[in-house]
Structure 1
Amino acid sequence: MPSSYYLAELCAAEMREAAVRKPVILLPMGSFEDQGPHAPMGDYLSAAKIAEKIAERATRNGRETYVAPVVPFGGEDFFGYMPGGISLSQSTLRAVVDDMLRCLLRHDLTRVVFINGHGGNCGVINDATQKVWLEQRVIMPSFYLWRVAQDLLPGVIGEEQAARSSGHGCNPLTSVVMHLFPDLIRPEHLHAARTPSDVWGLPVTGFTSLAIGDGGTITVPLEGGDTVPGGVWGGDPRLCSAETGAQLVEKLVSIGSEIVQHVTDHSDPQTGKAIL
């Protein structure tokens, strides 16, 4: 077997040999933006690390798997207010993803799984992989880490604690970072959300949404700097913990390994086409 789970660390001879065996390629993606005043801006770090752990476990379970270089810049949404943050327009990100898939498909590397760590990437991944499906009958699933972790959270810490600690700049990502990169958390900046109750004369209900009338909601073209200037929304990051993060990461890695197994078991080993 090659010496590393990272494609970037393989020599050309190792890569040529691995390609013949039709391994699974994980494509980690994330963002570089405000994750709360206490957390590193690069949530792509966590996506890449979890991808590495998935590759290690899947390979150990008999499904040869490698991690491509992470795409660190997420699809632009409402975090442009953050100094130093870098994002890609949706059209640029789509071009990047299309080109990544084109390069892999050229060499019949069709067993691809996206390990996604940013909501602003979801639409692009869906559209790009749907194009591959319609044209080549190849299924490339996307594993959106934080959405799945959010669903898992009540089972880890209970419904009440999950509700109090969940949101942007809170659980699940803050706990995951506390576990994976404890030295990158700044405890002195951990504090509860400090969000304006009203913007444009209406109650804030999200980064780009405001309440109006009796139960109504509107979407407005604002950025998080207008609605959630502290970067913390929905919960209290002080309730996050490395212990919670460790349990979430274990569950995500287990699910990711199952995704790899399913991809290999339900794709033709010669053509790469999906076996439905």
Structure 2
Amino acid sequence: MIEKIRIAELTSEEARQELTSEAVVLLPMGSLEDQGIHAPMGDYMAADLMAMEIAKAAREDGVPTFVAPVIPFGGKDYFESSHGGISISHATLCGILDDMFGCLERHGIRKLMIVNGHGGNVPAITEVALRWRQKAGLFIPSMYLWQVAYGELPALIGADKAKASSGHGGDPLTSVGLHFYPDLIRADMIKPAPTGSEIKGMKIGGFSSVVYDGAKIQAPIEALEATETGAYGCDPTLCSAETGDVLVKRLAAIGAGLVRDHVAKGLHD
């Protein structure tokens, strides 16, 4: 098996030799938005690095696994208020995924898995993955990294700490960032998320909701209206490189296991 993992680093001849019908290709994607005033905006960097960790672990199990170039821009949502952020429309994101699936499938590369780092990408992933299953028999799972991480954190660092540290701008992404690229994290800017935000006389209950009579009501608010620091419902000061280390290892193990036990065997209709 060739040492190169990133498809972008393969020569065209190496691609012909290595990207066979037995190869698994991981498709990382994320966003460029406010991740907290202390963290780099490009969470796609973490998704890309997680895809590499998954690929390395899968290769240790003998699965020829490669990583496609990351999609850096996320689907539009309430984070478009992020200064300097770049997002793309649902239709555009669907088009990109459609084209990527189509190019790979044309050459018989059908063992695919998405490594996703942005909630705003989920609707497009769902739509396009279903379409390709229906028209070509592809069955493409998507590992939404941070959703998986929320479920894993209590067992890794304790339920109470996980509850306090978890949220946008906190765990898991800040700890993962401290593990992967600590030099990009502004430790001097890390502070607990603000509380008590209101809009039009109602308490903000999340990035897309308000609270009325104890009930959460969906509302067209923007992230900047919910928090001026980018962090919401968490205490990022509790995040650490140590948490990032154990979390990255656990996510890599889950992803590599999914590749080994299912994707590599061909999840086709």
Which TM-score applies when normalising by structure 2? 0.97
CA distance in 2: counterparts of 1:148 and 1:65, whole angstroms:
21
Is 1:154 the counterpart of 2:154? The answer is: yes
Letter in 1 for 2:243: T
Q: Which position in structure 2 is the counterpart of 1:220?
A: 219
CA distance in 2: counterparts of 1:253 and 1:187, whole angstroms:
26
Shift of 1:59: 1.2
Is 1:206 the counterpart of 2:213? The answer is: no
CA distance in 1: counterparts of 2:190 and 2:208, whole angstroms:
24
- Name the SS of the counterpart of 1:203 in structure 2: strand
Shift of 1:21: 4.7
Q: Which position in structure 2 is the counterpart of 1:17?
A: 17
Q: Is the 8 A contact 1:174 1:240 kept in 2?
A: yes
Is 1:82 the counterpart of 2:77? The answer is: no
CA distance in 1: counterparts of 2:246 and 2:3, whole angstroms:
28
Is 1:255 the counterpart of 2:264? The answer is: no
Q: Is the 8 A contact 1:165 1:240 kept in 2?
A: yes
- Name the SS of the counterpart of 2:70 in structure 1: coil
CA distance in 2: counterparts of 1:40 and 1:85, whole angstroms:
11
CA distance in 1: counterparts of 2:225 and 2:43, whole angstroms:
22
Q: Is the 8 A contact 1:156 1:248 kept in 2?
A: yes
Kindly report the root-mean-square deviation, in angstroms, between the aligned alpha carbons of the 2 structures. 1.2
Question: Within 5 Å, which residues of 2 pair with 1:1-276?
Answer: 1-213=1-213, 215-267=214-266, 273-274=268-269
CA distance in 1: counterparts of 2:135 and 2:240, whole angstroms:
45
Letter in 2 for 1:176: V
Moved more, 197-206 or 120-129: 197-206
Question: Would the alpha carbon gap of residues 206 and 72 (structure 1) be closer, same or farther in structure 2, given more than 3 Å must change?
Answer: same
Specify every segment of 5 or more residues in structure 2 that has no aligned partner in the other structure, as ranges. Answer: none
Q: Is the 8 A contact 2:197 2:227 kept in 1?
A: no
Q: Is the 8 A contact 1:195 1:230 kept in 2?
A: no
Deviations, residues 200-258 of structure 1 (Å, cap 9, x unaligned): 11111101100102x32211111111122221101100000000010000000000101
Question: Would the alpha carbon gap of residues 261 and 119 (structure 1) be closer, same or farther in structure 2, given more than 3 Å must change?
Answer: same
- Name the SS of the counterpart of 2:242 in structure 1: helix
Moved more, 105-114 or 132-141: 132-141
- Aligned residue pairs: how many? 269
Specify every segment of 5 or more residues in structure 1 that has no aligned partner in the other structure, as ranges. Answer: none
Letter in 1 for 2:207: F
- Name the SS of the counterpart of 1:127 in structure 2: helix
Deviations, residues 46-90 of structure 1 (Å, cap 9, x unaligned): 100010111111112110000000000000101111111101111
Please list every run of at least 4 consecutive aligned residues from structure 1 whose deviation after the TM superposition is greater than 6 angstroms.
Answer: none
CA distance in 1: counterparts of 2:108 and 2:39, whole angstroms:
39
CA distance in 1: counterparts of 2:43 and 2:125, whole angstroms:
17
Letter in 1 for 2:223: G
CA distance in 1: counterparts of 2:263 and 2:177, whole angstroms:
30
Deviations, residues 144-198 of structure 1 (Å, cap 9, x unaligned): 0000001000001111111111100001110010011111110110011124432
Which TM-score applies when normalising by structure 1? 0.94
- Name the SS of the counterpart of 1:205 in structure 2: strand
CA distance in 2: counterparts of 1:105 and 1:81, whole angstroms:
36
Letter in 2 for 1:77: D
Shift of 1:36: 0.1
